[in-house]
Amino acid sequence: MTCRRASVAVGLTIVLVFGLCVAALAGEAPDASRRQEIETIIRDYLRAHPEVVLEALQEMERREQERRRTQRAETIRAHLVQLTQDPASPVAGNPQGRVTIVEFFDYQCGYCKRQEGELKKLLQAEADVRLVYKDLPILGPPSVFAARAALAARKQGGHGALHAALMATGEPLM
């Protein structure tokens, strides 16, 4: 089905529904036979071209995804300084690096632990990268305890060592 045919179908449906709405707002509900005729036209068209419904749903999903992407980007822009320049957040790599990566992680997250090696390689290969750590302890009380311990170690100059040890452990935190 072409985009033009889908547009015609959607346009026809909108015109017919709009006509019903205008009539209802004007206090002139179409009589039963006119309403039946309109419904029959829409039903017949959709039966003859059911792909129009799928295309409309796909377009609705695409628009929703775009809306969410835009909303995420706006949220990041609104909080960019807090995300990248928070003095309470530990930093690895080049503290003055032109490229900043913000990593949200949990010390009990297997995916986070696997990613740690890739981040280390990146920091070794690229001298202009700054990595900002954002603890996101969502996997239970041991995660919260580990995050607090790492932030406390930061105040004593030991965040890097404790972070590396916690990320390297294959055992569940207790």
Domains in the chain (CATH in brackets) are 3-78 (no CATH), 83-168 (3.40.30.10)
Entry pTM: 0.63
CA–CA separation, 134 vs 88, rounded Å? Answer: 10
Residue 105: how many other CB atoms lie within 10 Å: 23
Q: Output b/e per residue, 24-42; b: 16+ Cβ within 10 A.
A: eeeeeeeeeeeeeebeeee
For residue 165, the model assigns a pLDDT of 92
Residues 119 and 131 sit within 8 Å (Cβ to Cβ): yes
Query: Which pLDDT tens digit goes with each residue over 5-50?
Result: 666 566 566 656 656 665 665 666 667 778 888 888 888 888 888 8
CA 102/CA 158 separation, integer angstroms: 20
3-state secondary structure of 71: helix
pLDDT tens, position by position, 94-130: 999 999 999 999 999 999 999 999 999 999 999 999 9
Longest dimension (CA), the chain: 82
Helix (H, G, I), strand (E, B) or coil at 132: strand
Does position 78 have pLDDT exceeding 50, yes or no?
yes
Q: Which of 109, 120, 102 is nearest to 160 (CA)?
A: 120
**Tokens for 59?**
């377009």
Tell me the percentage of the chain whose pLDDT exceeds 90. Answer: 52
